[in-house]
C-alpha cells in the first residue's frame, strides 16, 4: 500500500464519536463499523477533514503533544477500515465503503418507535419487574414445590401435546427476552433488529445493536441486562400464577399448571445459559464492558492461537502489543474461561448429544426395516423431532460458522490479523 | 514516533438460547 506523503490530502468519511476515558469511539453509521482510537488521534482526523495536508496535521499534533505521531501507520489502518481515503482514491469511488448489507432473516419491529421504547424502558417498569422477582422468591421460600426440577418435563399425561406447547411458549419467551434488548437499546436511539444465529451448537435468537458502542456505559449495561431481567420476571410471574392456583384464589386446570411449572424450569435454564461466558451471551457483554474490553472474544482467540503457535514453534504470531496491559490481563484470565467452558460444551456434545442422536437414527432404521422399535409412539417421535431440529440444526449452524470463520481469516486484512510477525 | 493504536470494536449481538 502506498504511504501518505506530507503534501497528501485525505478525505475523511463522516463519523460519529463518543469519548471513553482517554480513547474515543468513532463509528461509521452507514456501514456500522466502530473503532477505538486514542483521543489525540481525533485531532488528526479533525485537522485532515478541514482540508489540512498530512504534514500540516502532523505538525499541529507535535505542537500540541510534543511528540511525532506515526501518522502514516494511523491512516493506513483507518483506510483499511474505510474511514479515510486519499483524494485520488475517492474520485475512483473509494474502497470498502459500501453500506452494510441488511442481514437476511431479521425483524426490526419498526412499530416500536424510539419514543415508545423510551416509555417502556422506564424506572417504574424495572421496579415492577424487581418487585415481582422479590415476591416470587418469598412465595417459593414458603412453598418450595412451586419450583420443580427437570423431572417436570416428563409429563405423565399428554406428553407430546404438553412438550410441544412448552417449546412453543418457550420460544415466545425467547422473543420477549429479545424484545427487552431491542426496546432498551432503541430507547437510546440505536438501530436494532432481531435475528437468529448460533453460539457453538446452541441455536439462539439475537438482537443486533452494535451502535450501542456510541452510548455511555450505563446505557449499555441497561440494554444487556434487560434480557436476563425479563427472564427473571417471566419466571416470577409464572410462580405467582401457580401460587394463586395452589392457594385457591384462581381455578387452574392440571395441564395449565404443568405447563406453567415446565416453563419456570426451561426459563430458569435459559437464564443459567446466560452465564456461559465462553460464548457471546448477555453476561459476556456485561463482563467485557466492565473490564473496558474492545473485543474480548477475538483478542482471546488470537492470544490462544499465538500460544499454540509458540508451543508448536511454527505458524504466525499476531502482534498484540497494541492492547493495553490491563486489558491483556483480562484476556489471559478469560482465556481460561474460554478453554474450560468450551471443553465442557464440546464434551457434552460428544458424550451426550451425539450418542442420543445416533441412538434415534438407529431406532429409526429398526422401525423402517420392520424390527421392533420405539418409533411407534407420538411421544418418542416428539423427542426425536425436537432433538434434530434444535440440536442437529445447532450443530449444522456451528459447522457453517467455523467454515466461514476460516475462510474469512484466510482472506482478511482486518486489524486483529494485520501484522503477522514470525515466531520468536 | 508515537504509534496511534486503532482497535476494531466487536459486534454487539445479545442472545438467548432457543431450547435443555
Closest to A44 (Cα-Cα) out of A57, A55, A56: A57
Residue reference for cell 440444526: A393
Q: What is the DSSP string of A139-197?
A: HHHH-GGGS--GGGGS-SSSHHHHHHHHHHHHHHHHHHHHHHHHHHHHTTT---EEEEE
pLDDT at residue number A423: 40
* Distance between CA atoms of residues A342 and A347, nearest Å: 8
CA A255 to the chain's CA centroid: 36
A154: Cβ contacts below 8 Å, ≥ 6 apart: none
The 3-state DSSP class for residue A412 equals: coil
Helix pair angle (A159-186, A378-386), 10° resolution: 30
- The answer, for A181 touching chain B at a CB cutoff of 8 Å, is yes
Element (H, E) at A317: strand A316-318
Angle between helices A71-80 and A54-65 (to 10 degrees): 120
The pLDDT value given to residue A374: 73
Give the DSSP per-residue string, A213-272.
Answer: GGS-HHHHHHHHHHHHHHHHHHHHHHHHHHHHHHTTSS---HHHHHHHHHHHHHHHHHHH
Grid coordinates standing for A290? Answer: 466492565
Q: Which chain A residues have a beta carbon less than 8 Å from that of B14? A: 178, 181, 206-207, 209, 223-224, 227, 280-282, 285
Residue A242 burial (C-beta neighbours within 10 Å; 0-12, 13-18, 19+): buried
Interface contacts A/B by beta carbons within 8 Å: 142
Nearest CA in chain A to B17: A204
Classify A370 in phi/psi space as left (phi over 0), alpha (psi -120 to 50) or beta: left
Buried-exposed string A102-118: b where 16+ CB fall within 10 A, e elsewhere: eeeeeeeeeebeeeebe
DSSP string of A347-360, one letter each residue = HHIIIIIHHHHHHH
- Looking at the complex, does the CB of residue A395 fall below 8 Å from at least one CB of chain B? no
**The predicted structure's pLDDT at residue A418:** 38
Q: Are strands A420-422 and B7-8 parallel, antiparallel or unpaired?
A: unpaired
pLDDT for position A142: 92
Listed residue (A175, A140, A68, A161) closest to A378, CA to CA: A161
What is the structure's pLDDT at A225? 97
pLDDT-derived band at B13 (thresholds 50, 70, 90) equals confident
Beta bridge partners of A202: A199
pLDDT in the model for residue A97? 63
Contacts made by residues A71-74, CB under 8 angstroms, sequence distance 24+: A71/A4, A71/A44, A71/B4, A72/A3, A72/A4, A73/B3, A73/B4, A74/A37, A74/A41, A74/A44, A74/B3, A74/B4, A74/B6
Residue-level pLDDT at A424? 41
Distance from A369 to chain B by nearest Cα, in Å? Answer: 31
Distance from CA of B3 to the nearest CA of A (A): 5
d(C-alpha A365, C-alpha A334), whole Å: 44
Length of chain B equals 20
- For residue A16, report the phi and psi dihedrals to the nearest 5 degrees: -100, 155
Cβ within 8 Å, pair B6-A77 = yes
pLDDT of residue A417: 40
10-residue block means of pLDDT along chain A (424 residues)?
81 91 93 95 94 92 92 93 75 56 81 93 94 97 94 92 96 96 96 92 95 94 96 97 93 94 95 95 97 96 91 85 93 96 96 91 86 80 90 92 82 48 40
Backbone φ and ψ of A321, nearest 5° = -70, -15
Q: State how far the alpha carbon of A227 is from the alpha carbons of A179, A188, A206, A211, A285, in Å.
A: 8, 16, 11, 18, 12
Cβ <8 Å between B3 and A223: no
At A98, list the grid cell: 459500501
Q: Which of A35, A68, A203 sits opposite B9 (nearest CB)?
A: A35
What's the confidence (pLDDT) of residue A157?
85
Q: What is the DSSP letter of A390?
A: I
- Under DSSP, is residue B14 helix (H, G, I), strand (E, B) or coil? strand
Cell output for A409: 481469516
- Give the C-alpha separation, A323 to A319, whole Å: 9
Q: How far apart are CA A333 and CA A318, in angstroms?
A: 19
Residue B13, min C-alpha distance to chain A (Å): 5
Q: 10 Å Cβ neighbour count for B19?
A: 20
Question: Are A68 and B1 in contact (CB < 8 Å)?
Answer: yes
C-alpha to C-alpha distance for A16 and A32, rounded to whole angstroms: 11
Which of B5, B10, B16 should we substitute to test contact with A (largest number of A Cβ atoms within 10 Å)?
B16
How many Å apart are CA A199 and CA A398, to the nearest integer?
Answer: 7
A289: its cell numbers: 464492558
Mutation target vs A (from B15, B18, B20; most A CBs, 10 A cutoff):
B15
Amino acid at each position: 500500500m502506498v504511504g501518505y506523503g506530507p503534501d497528501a490530502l485525505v478525505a475523511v468519511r463522516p463519523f460519529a464519536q463518543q469519548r471513553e476515558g482517554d480513547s474515543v469511539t468513532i463509528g461509521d453509521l452507514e456501514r456500522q463499523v466502530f473503532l477505538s482510537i486514542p483521543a489525540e488521534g481525533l485531532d488528526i482526523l479533525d485537522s485532515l477533514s478541514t482540508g489540512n495536508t498530512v504534514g500540516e496535521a502532523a505538525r499541529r499534533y507535535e505542537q500540541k503533544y510534543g511528540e511525532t505521531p506515526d501518522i502514516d501507520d494511523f491512516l493506513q489502518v483507518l483506510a483499511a477500515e474505510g474511514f479515510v481515503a486519499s483524494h485520488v482514491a475517492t474520485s475512483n469511488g473509494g474502497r470498502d465503503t459500501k453500506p452494510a448489507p441488511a442481514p437476511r432473516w431479521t425483524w426490526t419491529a419498526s412499530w416500536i418507535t424510539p419514543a415508545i421504547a423510551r416509555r417502556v424502558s422506564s424506572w417504574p417498569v424495572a421496579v415492577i419487574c424487581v418487585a415481582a422477582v422479590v415476591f416470587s422468591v418469598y412465595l417459593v421460600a414458603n412453598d418450595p414445590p412451586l419450583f420443580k426440577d427437570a423431572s417436570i418435563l416428563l409429563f405423565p399425561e399428554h406428553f407430546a401435546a404438553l412438550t410441544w406447547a412448552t417449546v412453543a411458549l418457550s420460544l415466545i419467551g425467547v422473543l420477549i427476552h429479545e424484545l427487552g434488548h431491542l426496546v432498551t437499546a432503541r430507547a437510546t436511539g440505536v438501530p436494532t433488529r432481531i435475528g437468529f444465529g448460533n453460539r457453538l451448537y446452541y441455536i439462539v435468537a439475537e438482537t443486533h445493536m452494535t451502535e450501542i458502542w456510541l452510548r455511555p456505559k450505563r446505557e449499555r449495561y441497561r440494554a444487556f441486562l434487560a434480557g436476563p431481567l425479563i427472564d427473571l420476571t417471566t419466571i416470577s410471574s409464572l410462580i405467582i400464577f401457580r401460587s394463586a392456583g395452589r392457594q385457591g384464589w384462581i381455578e387452574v386446570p392440571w395441564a395449565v399448571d404443568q405447563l406453567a411449572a415446565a416453563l419456570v424450569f426451561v426459563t430458569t435454564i435459559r437464564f443459567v445459559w446466560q452465564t456461559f461466558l465462553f460464548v457471546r451471551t448477555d453476561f459476556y457483554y456485561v463482563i467485557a464492558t466492565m473490564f473496558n474490553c474492545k473485543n474480548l472474544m477475538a483478542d482471546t482467540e488470537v492470544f490462544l492461537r499465538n500460544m499454540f503457535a509458540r508451543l508448536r514453534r511454527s505458524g504466525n504470531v499476531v502482534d498484540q502489543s497494541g492492547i493495553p496491559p490491563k486489558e491483556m490481563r483480562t484476556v489471559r484470565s478469560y482465556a481460561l474461561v474460554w478453554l474450560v467452558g468450551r471443553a465442557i460444551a464440546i464434551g457434552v456434545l460428544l458424550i451426550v448429544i451425539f450418542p442420543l442422536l445416533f441412538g434415534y437414527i438407529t431406532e429409526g432404521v429398526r422401525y423402517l426395516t420392520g424390527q421392533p422399535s420405539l418409533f411407534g409412539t407420538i411421544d418418542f417421535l416428539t423427542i426425536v423431532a425436537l432433538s434434530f431440529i434444535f440440536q442437529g440444526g445447532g450443530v449444522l449452524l456451528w459447522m457453517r460458522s467455523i467454515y466461514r470463520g476460516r475462510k474469512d481469516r484466510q482472506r482478511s486484512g482486518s486489524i486483529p490479523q494485520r501484522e503477522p510477525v514470525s515466531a520468536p | 514516533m508515537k504509534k496511534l493504536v486503532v482497535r476494531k470494536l466487536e459486534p454487539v449481538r445479545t442472545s438467548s438460547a432457543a431450547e435443555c
